[in-house]
Amino acid sequence: MASSTTRLFETRVLSLIAVAIVINIVGNQINDLVRLPIFLDSIGTVLVGVLAGPLAGGVTGLLTNLILGLIVSPVAAAFAPVAIVIGVVAGLMARAGWFRTWWQAAVTGVVIAAALTLVAVPIRIYMFGGVTGSGADFIVGYLSSVGQTLFSSVALTVFGTNVADKVITALIVWALVRQLPQRLTAGYGHLQYSRA
Partner 1 sequence: MRSWSIHRPGSSALHRANPLTKLAALLLLAALLFVLPWPGAWAGTLLLLTAAFGLHIGGVVLRRYLVLATPFLIAVFIFHGLIVDRPDRMPLAAFLSYSQEGLTYAAVLGGRISLMLAGSLLFVATTHPAALLRSLDVARMPPGLSFLLASPLLLIDEFTKRAGAIRDAQQARGMRVNTFSDRLRALRLLTLPLVTLALADAQERSGVLNARAFRAFPRRAVLSPPPDTALERRLRHALVAASVLLVGCALWLR
- Which of 82, 39, 71, 15 shows the shortest CA–CA distance to 172? 39
Cα distance between residue 143 and residue 140, in whole Å: 5
Q: Which residue number, 96 or 134, has a Cβ lying nearer to partner 1?
A: 134
Q: Using the rule CB under 8 A, which residue among 42, 108, 117, 132 binds partner 1?
A: 132
- 81 near partner 1, rule: CB under 8 A: no
- 25 near partner 1, rule: CB under 8 A: yes
Cα distance between residue 148 and residue 15, in whole Å: 45
- 195 near partner 1, rule: CB under 8 A: no
Cα distance between residue 104 and residue 178, in whole Å: 14
Q: How far is the CB of 80 from partner 1 (least distance, A)?
A: 13
Q: Using the rule CB under 8 A, which residue among 55, 75, 106, 114 binds partner 1?
A: 75
Decide: 27 and 45 in contact? Cβ < 8 Å: no
- 72 near partner 1, rule: CB under 8 A: yes
Letters for 29-68 (x = contact with partner 1 by CB under 8 A, - = none) are xxxxxxxx---x--xx--x-----------x---xx-xx-
Q: How far is the CB of 93 from partner 1 (least distance, A)?
A: 19
Q: Using the rule CB under 8 A, which residue among 106, 114, 119, 128 binds partner 1?
A: 128
- 133 near partner 1, rule: CB under 8 A: yes
Cα distance between residue 11 and residue 1, in whole Å: 19
Q: How far is the CB of 148 from partner 1 (least distance, A)?
A: 11
- 141 near partner 1, rule: CB under 8 A: yes
Angle between helices 43-52 and 54-71 (to 10 degrees): 150
Q: Using the rule CB under 8 A, which residue among 102, 152, 184, 192 binds partner 1?
A: 184
C-alpha dihedral (21, 99, 92, 16), degrees to nearest 10:
-30
Cα distance between residue 152 and residue 148, in whole Å: 6
